[in-house]
Amino acid sequence: MNVDGKEMRPIWFDPDTETVRVIDQRWLPHELIIKDLTHVDEVIHAIREMVVRGAPLIGATGALGVYVILVQKGNRGMDDAWFSSQCDDLKNARPTATNLRWGVNRVQAKVMEKTSHETRIQAALDESLAIMEEEADNCRKIGTHGLELIRETADRNPGRPVNILTHCNAGWLACIEYGTATAPIYAAHDAGIPVHVWVDETRPLNQGARLTAWELGKHGVPHTVITDNAGGHLMQHGRVDLVIVGTDRTTRTGDVANKIGTYLKALAARDNDIPFYVALPASTFDWDLTDGIREIPIEERDPDEIRYVRGWHDDAMIQVRITPMDSPAANHAFDVTPARLVTGFITERGVCDASESAITALYADRFKN
């Protein structure tokens, strides 16, 4: 994505220094800070503390984390038991997004096929870079398929922009390129279809207000930041045509884990007959799970993220407390929207219904023995 004239991704491998580099998303939109990840503890910290975040990006970071383990720890990487336990630490950095496990597993399997330290390092790098290119391409295809949904909505409502509501950040910052939920929006905007995005601020870490608004602004997409609770009101007054969100893990039956508050948007959308779409690549499906509410692990984060609000004042980052000193707080980071509330999935293979039969038909090759 172009940021002030420079093509950028949220993660890349710098071949000159042989270093994994990331945008530190905690500082956006106020500062564009780049961080090097040279130690596995730094990779785990970056995922856990949300230097990098968003399901596909966490998957890519975990994948490159396997490379970092092998480079940093030298010949220890030839000890399969030790190597596997290091990979497990990476996989456990955050629990909800299935892409993390998927990315690490995929690179780990390629590494285990090799029998020398050098070939293991090369295999880890090759596979991680392949994952990143595939995920970028998947998001581009999600954009192409989702564009048609936006075009149909625009054709039904000539003379005004299509109003799309999104939650959290499922943009290029959360992926490698284009984003998942934002890919159709960027594609529509680039195709000359007038769009306007309602951006949920997404408390407590404000990924919508900080990141989605920043991204859309850089791309010139008209948008308005709203409070997390405004969506229902806007839907009741005909000011939302479509909801498109991303997901951190979706079961093969179509239950969707995404940022806390997504479920309430889906309920409001259903009550107002507004299509509710979820955009995702194959890496975000958890093919083993069938009951999202019972089976998807929901991350609980530090309650201080609720108690304190972070912002910028005179170019310095400040934190202010908003709760009484003695009030407990609980920070559930994700919720699950049942498949029955989802109109459809926008995937790299096309759009499908939110049902086990439609999902498994679209990805039939994965279920062949």
Helix axes 98-112, 117-156, angle to 10 degrees: 150
Question: CA–CA separation, 118 vs 245, rounded Å?
Answer: 41
> Which residue has tokens 């999202």?
292
Question: CA–CA separation, 188 vs 111, rounded Å?
Answer: 40
259 is in an annotated binding site: yes
86 is in an annotated binding site: no
54 is in an annotated binding site: yes
- Work out how close the CB of 300 gets to ligand MRU at its nearest, in angstroms, rounded to a whole number: 12
| Residue of 180, 206, 283, 347 that binds ligand MRU (CB under 6 A) | 180
Is the Cβ–Cβ distance between 258 and 167 less than 8 Å?
Answer: yes
Q: Residue 56, interface with ligand MRU (CB under 6 A)?
A: yes
Burial grade of 313 (CB within 10 A; 0-12, 13-18, 19 or more):
exposed
333 is in an annotated binding site: no
Q: Residue 54, interface with ligand MRU (CB under 6 A)?
A: yes
The count of residues in the chain is 369
Q: What is the CA radius of gyration of the chain?
A: 20
Give the number of other CB atoms < 10 A from CB of residue 11. Answer: 22
> Which residue has tokens 């597993």?
105
Considering only 53-61, 85-93, 142-150, 345-353, which stretch makes contact with ligand MRU by CB under 6 A? Answer: 53-61
Is the Cβ–Cβ distance between 94 and 174 less than 8 Å?
Answer: no
Is the Cβ–Cβ distance between 28 and 211 less than 8 Å?
Answer: yes
Question: CA–CA separation, 224 vs 178, rounded Å?
Answer: 19
Residue (84 or 227) nearer to ligand MRU, CB? 227
| Residue of 177, 215, 248, 348 that binds ligand MRU (CB under 6 A) | 248
| Residue of 26, 259, 265, 307 that binds ligand MRU (CB under 6 A) | 259
| Residue of 11, 40, 55, 256 that binds ligand MRU (CB under 6 A) | 55
Buried-exposed string 239-273: b where 16+ CB fall within 10 A, e elsewhere: ebbbbbbbbbbbbbbbbbbbbbbbbbbbebbbebe
Considering only 71-79, 116-124, 166-174, 269-277, which stretch makes contact with ligand MRU by CB under 6 A? Answer: 166-174
Considering only 72-80, 105-113, 243-251, 288-296, which stretch makes contact with ligand MRU by CB under 6 A? Answer: 243-251
Q: Residue 184, interface with ligand MRU (CB under 6 A)?
A: no
Question: CA–CA separation, 234 vs 247, rounded Å?
Answer: 23
- Work out how close the CB of 1 gets to ligand MRU at its nearest, in angstroms, rounded to a whole number: 14
| Residue of 64, 168, 296, 339 that binds ligand MRU (CB under 6 A) | 168
- Work out how close the CB of 116 gets to ligand MRU at its nearest, in angstroms, rounded to a whole number: 36
- Work out how close the CB of 174 gets to ligand MRU at its nearest, in angstroms, rounded to a whole number: 4
Residue (97 or 123) nearer to ligand MRU, CB? 97
Q: Residue 142, interface with ligand MRU (CB under 6 A)?
A: no
Considering only 62-70, 108-116, 240-248, 317-325, which stretch makes contact with ligand MRU by CB under 6 A? Answer: 240-248
3-state secondary structure of 78: helix
* Best CA proximity match to 144, nearest among 342, 353, 347: 347
Site for ligand MRU in 75-114 (CB under 6 A): 97
Q: What's CA 11's distance to the chain center, in Å?
A: 13
The one catalytic residue in 228, 248, 286, 335 is 248
Q: Is 24 a catalytic residue?
A: no
- Work out how close the CB of 52 gets to ligand MRU at its nearest, in angstroms, rounded to a whole number: 8
Q: What's CA 115's distance to the chain center, in Å?
A: 34
| Residue of 207, 250, 251, 283 that binds ligand MRU (CB under 6 A) | 207
Q: Using the 8-state DSSP alphabet, how is residue 50 labeled?
A: T
Which residues are catalytic, by number?
Answer: 248
Annotated binding site for substrate: 53-55, 94, 207, 258-259
Residues that bind ligand MRU (CB under 6 A): 53-56, 97, 168, 170, 174-175, 180, 207, 246-248, 258-259, 333
